[in-house]
Structure 1
Amino acid sequence: MCGIIACIGVADPLLGPRMLDAIGHRGEDERRIERIGEQCLLGISRLSIVDARGGSQPLHDPARRLHLVCNGEIYNHRSLRDDLSHEFDFSSDSDSEVILALFRKYGAACAGFLDGMFAFVVYDELTGDFLACRDRYGIKPLYYARTRRAWYFASEAKAFAVLDEDIEAFDLIEPGAQVVCSTLQRWHERAAPRAKSVPSAAMVRALLEASVEKHLMVDQHIGVGTFLSGGIDSSIVTALCAKYRPETTAFTVGVPGSPDIAAAQRVCEHLAIPHVIRWLELDEARALLPDAVRHTESFNPALVLEGLMTMLLAKAAREAGVKVVLCGEGADEIFAGYGVFLNKSPDAFGRCMRLALDNIHNTECLRLDRATMAYSLEARVPFLDPALVEYVTNLPMASLLGTSAGQVVEKMILRQSCEDLLPGEIVWRSKMGFYHASGILPVIQAVEDEIPDQDFEACRQAYPAARLRDKFSMFLFMHWQALFGAFAGEHAFEKFGAYPVLQEVFDNREAMFSGTGETEPALA
């Protein structure tokens, strides 16, 4: 896991270091910038997980014609390496090196062979051609900026703030998309759900076990943990991790007396694994809000607040010597864990699920990536394994939303698949809302109490594109504005302030939905 930058069309030796400085927090093990000919700079701040000693980047093919920087993990790299070793002379054990071999053989079609989370840039020094590519679900980020003379790519948007020329176009590369020699195109299209899968809790369990085992790919000395909220998703991931790595440590954040803390403790007692609780201090949380805005690059309250909590977990994990954590993100999107999935016709239900998954790169994956990489911690998401996603998103609605004692039970087949792993009170535990369970509400109230009504109204009038709906949103926006200025212009809200799919619910003050999907009572 790393932070990467690429400049194609210019090779200014002063620009690369400045761009990499902006995202240097993403990798603390190694920092390298290489000038490739007269038209390219590639740079990386590396967090070494696989082939820590031999996997330095940028990577090069044997002829030193192709050059690569990659952020992420390629879980099927060993089988790909076996298939390609007779025609490509591998120089390391890095999982990323298979991308060079695939690009040399298949060109821009290479991403279709990869199973993993990734964002990468390949540059062909002979032709000047390049490929900038992002994984199918957008687990790993990749942004681009285009000027009159060059293309720029980076893991975070803040890297472009140092550019001293007019930016003609700026955006993220969408999941399953790539830039091929200045042309944006898709390499992966997700088919519409067709409810064709035969419901089987045993199949769900088998796919989950295979995914978790695959996501534990690390060098032997790397410490591994989980983020454990006490909910069903993270509890299942933790239980399966403990099965394959009994030394797994679980990390939880919250306030004393929280039901989530009690549930997480119960899980760890049942599994007999180490448990680290990071207690939430409200003064600390208030002080960290500007940092959470900077790292999430957002002024959306749900993303920033959940990002803050995740940052506290990431810091605790790194202090404990852990470099990789497995997390439960993605389960709500594929197993229908959000409140917006309820009371829908089968067709509307399928459309809603597709929207949630198609936008996860701008919600849960964005928050998880930025918050963990703030402390050079790699987060992995077993629920977003392609085989699992394909099977579950084609299940009929009735297998996902069941009933018990007259109440709707979300994620029914997921719960059934893991009944033997966890205590019954965890398997069938109701979902709790983030704002109340986390104890973060007093922080929101303290911030709003500091802002006079007239200042809020003046800010709303001055920045209509920001769509500020309350004083807390204003507070976050003003910190974002100080960092990024008019970076996105009139599209600031769409690019940095919105929460896709659920934004309409956020705008309705009768209810609040957190990024993890729970319905909340009104905050005002």
Structure 2
Amino acid sequence: MCGIVGIANLDKRPLSARQISDLKKATRLLAHRGPDAERIILDDNVGLGFRRLSIVDTSDQGMQPFLNEDDTILCAVNGEIYNSDALRRRLQGRHKLRSRSDCEVVVHLYEEMGPAYANPLDGMFAAAIVDFRHGKLLLTRDRFGIKPLFYSMQRHTLVFASEIKALFMFHNIERQLNWSECLEDRWLSGGFTFAAQPAPSYFERIEPVEPGTTVAFDFSTGQMEVRRYWQLPCPEEPIEEFSCQNKEEVVTLYGNRLQTSVTGCLMSDVEIGIALSGGIDSMAVAALAGMGDLHSFTILNQSTLANHDAEWAARAAASLRLKNHQVLLSDLEQVRPQDWLRLLWIAESPYCGAEHLFKFHLYRCARMLRPNLKVVLTGQGSDEFNGGYSSLWPVERPEWQCFIDTISAFADIDSELAPYVRWNTILGRPVVKPMDVNKTGGFERGSFHNYMRSKMRDLQVYNLWLEDRLSASQGMEVRLPFLNHNLVELMATLPPELHDPLLWNKYILRSAVSCALSEDFCHRPKGALFYGPETKATTNLVLFLIYRLVENGDLDAAFARGTEAAERLDYLQLRACIEDCRRSQDDTTAQLLLRLVNMALLDLIAKSPELCADAYSAPYPDVHSLTVSSWEDSYTDIEKHVLRNHRSISNMESGSRHD
């Protein structure tokens, strides 16, 4: 986890004093991503800033940006290159590598391969390369978009950074939410579509480098060229191993690739931990890591206590001889309005919700308990490609084809509704004002391959985006073994006849790790993290947060006369909808309301960043944890702490009602 910031005058004008000052401010703003060191390199019309989180080769030699031997290529990389040892051997004899850093291979691969340099890379990365020889600047992102990289063009000036907020430090950048992009996003309004739409930035005139692409800017012509070096393969592109179509052989192949990926993710010169839930995904990663000295961290609140997720995580940790810290997250004091504004600015996404509040405090607690912890493994990316949601839909007829038919029906319904109609239909009131709809292309037919493509986009705008920002806020890096392209390519090219036997209820994963985990863990039914008997507790937390933002006046400021929020949303209807939801306590409505509230607040903060200037240094509510060796021995203590920390939302009825 590091931070990259850069600026280039594509018309070859030397950088002005103000541009250099902006670059320095933007680089400092990303200190949370790289608290260990900073370097800024200036060269005529180009400036490149870097904040380092030292994980591999923690010496000064591993400091970036890197230069090649004759100083004609400058390179900064955020991420990890897991096959760097093999690449170093390939480069030896032709290049002089000055450090042990895994990322140094990138500058020399580019020197040899040009824009195709990303093809042999196995890892998660965002890279900026300045090629002084050919007068070009290239921005590249890994295949799944695990590492972020955004850019903006203002006349002849290009600026780019790992986070959107850093771009706002440049004086000519527009600070405004892209309301049309937000409100027209069917995923954001709780919908679903198979259409392969690119993931947005949600801010005006700011673009993400798309996953699996290199964007090249030419200093001579000022032109931009986008080159895609990877995309999800189709079942029509089968790999050799499927010639026999034997599902048990495929399971073995999958298990081998997953083990290789987990082993690669253990590359580190610093302490590694694991975010452990009660599901098969993170348990499988923990088991395959085979490190008994790992510390694991689990979310403990009313929801995860009642649905037994916290319990299964603790039992898995005990079975694997891992230390397990149950992080107590039940106190509604953790949703103070001022803290939410800061968390929203850290996340810089309208998706920010209860899950991200909990994970933010989980990472905070992990860093407090283990000050030298810089790397956390997670199970993200498994459900999307292993059939993880298949057993949840439909309940009436649990079959693979019925799962595909069900999600296809959802997509068809969503495609018929104008975006603002969809919002208002779910909310039950005309909260979103009528709007012209931009054409986003046709809607594709349902198939598991198209479903995987849609889930790749889902990962980019939700799971990966928010995991990156929340872990980075604590100077930590999240690694995701399930998002290894060799593993995902295997799943994408499965012949359709193997989907049912291998993907229903994640059979392929459960079978592949059956030698590393006991049967109880391997076959525990799929469940959502915060859902179950006490889903209401999490819903109430969201409602309580929205209600306090209203009481505190933050929404009044966001909806002041003349603001874009006031133009796009009916504030009186929004307030009425909040009251409706407070009575019904409907989870879906609460989530969508929070996303609309987030949009208004993000627009407000973008225009007045001083509101959250202390986002990374401000004191937050205390977070407590219990170290659990035996669930049975600790249960009384666990239950007591969870119930004591939870404050009933019913207090709103008497003392907090906003009339």
TM-score if structure 1 supplies the norm length? Answer: 0.84
2:310 equivalent to 1:250: no
Report the CA distance shift for 1:337/1:96 in structure 2 as closer, same or farther (over 3 A): same
Query: For 1:444-483, what aligned pairs fall within 5 Å after superposition?
Result: 444-450=542-548, 451=550, 462-464=567-569, 470-483=592-605
- For 1:39, the aligned partner's letter is N
Whether 2:404 is the aligned partner of 1:309: answer: no
Of structures 1 and 2, the larger Rg is shown by 2
Contact kept? 1:317, 1:323, Cα under 8 Å: no
Q: Secondary structure at the match of 1:162?
A: coil
Q: Which residue of 2 aligns with 1:431?
A: 526
Which amino acid is the alignment partner of residue 231 of structure 2?
E
Q: Which residue of 2 aligns with 1:52?
A: 58
SS at match of 1:410: helix
Q: CA deviation at 1:296?
A: 1.6
Displacement after TM superposition at 1:411 (Å): 0.8
Distance 2:565 2:529 in 1: 27
Whether the 8 Å contact between 1:400 and 1:412 is mirrored in structure 2 is no
Alignment of 1:342-491 (within 5 A): 343-344=403-404, 348-396=447-495, 399=498, 401=500, 409-436=504-531, 439-450=537-548, 451=550, 462-464=567-569, 470-485=592-607
In the alignment, which residue of structure 2 is the partner of 1:43?
49
Corresponding residue to 1:23 among 17, 30, 34:
30
Aligned length: 475
Does 2:335 match 1:213?
no
SS at match of 1:21: helix
Q: Which amino acid aligns with 2:294?
A: T
Other-structure match for 1:297: 348
- Which deviates more from structure 2 when the two are superposed, residues 155-164 or residues 440-449? 440-449
1:483 Cα deviation (Å)? 1.8
CA contact (8 A) 1:336 1:401 kept: no
Q: Secondary structure at the match of 2:404?
A: coil
2:213 to 173, 177, 182: 177
Find the partner of 2:382 among 310, 331, 334: 331
Equivalents in 1 of 2:546, 2:44: separation in Å? 52
Q: Where do 5+ consecutive residues of structure 1 fail to align?
A: 488-524
Equivalent-residue separation in structure 2 for 1:282 and 1:409 (angstroms)? 37
- Deviation of 1:486 after TM superposition, in Å, equals 10
Query: Aligned residue for 1:518?
Result: none
Which whole-Å CA distance do the structure 2 matches of 1:471 and 1:304 have between them? 11
Q: What residue number does 1:282 align with?
A: 331
Listed one character per residue, the Cα deviations across residues 311-332 of structure 1 (whole Å, up to 9, x for unaligned) are: 1221122221311111101101
- 3-state SS of paired residue (2:148): coil
| Cα distance, 1:449–1:191 mapped onto 2, change above 3 Å | same
> Is contact 2:387–2:504 with CA below 8 Å preserved after alignment?
no
Q: Residue 268 of structure 2 aligns to which amino acid in structure 1? A: V
Contact kept, 8 Å, 1:225 with 1:248, in 2: the verdict is yes
**Aligned in 2, Cα 1:457/1:8: closer, same or farther, shift over 3 Å?**
closer
Check if 1:318 corresponds to 2:367.
yes
Higher deviation after alignment, 164-173 or 26-35? 164-173
Give the distance between the partners of 2:374 and 2:545, measured in 1 at CA: 33
If asked which structure has higher relative contact order (CA below 8 Å, sep 6+), I would say: 2
**Is residue 204 from structure 1 mapped to residue 246 from structure 2 by the alignment?**
no
Quote how far apart the aligned CAs of 1:127 are: 3.8
Instruction: Name the counterpart of 2:581.
Output: none
Structure 1 residues 112 and 172, CA gap change in structure 2 (3 angstroms): same
Q: Which residue of structure 1 lines up, in the alignment, with residue 230 of structure 2?
A: 188
Amino acid paired to 2:385:
I
Pick which of 412-421 and 188-197 moved more: 188-197
Partner of 1:65: 72
- Residue identity opposite 2:353 in structure 1: V
In 2, the alpha carbon distance for the partners of 1:253 and 1:189 equals 34
Cα deviations by residue, 1:154-204 (Å, 9 ceiling, x for unpaired): 001111112212559421011001111232221223222348444332222
TM-score, normalised via structure 2 length = 0.67
Tell me how far apart the structure 1 counterparts of residues 110 and 23 of structure 2 sit (CA, whole Å).
25
Cα distance in 2 between the residues matched to 1:426 and 1:465: 48
Deviations 1:370-408 (A, max 9, x none): 1111111111000011111111222245655559xxxx9
Q: Retained in 1: the 8 A contact 2:285–2:378?
A: yes
Q: In structure 2, what is the Cα distance between the partners aligned to 1:322 and 1:174?
A: 30
After TM superposition, list the pairs within 5 Å mapping 1:67-86 onto structure 2. 67-86=74-93
1:298–1:304 Cα contact (<8 Å) kept: no
Alignment check: 8 A CA contact 1:132 1:179 kept: yes
Cα distance in 1 for residues equivalent to 2:28 and 2:355: 25
Deviation, 1:218, is: 0.9
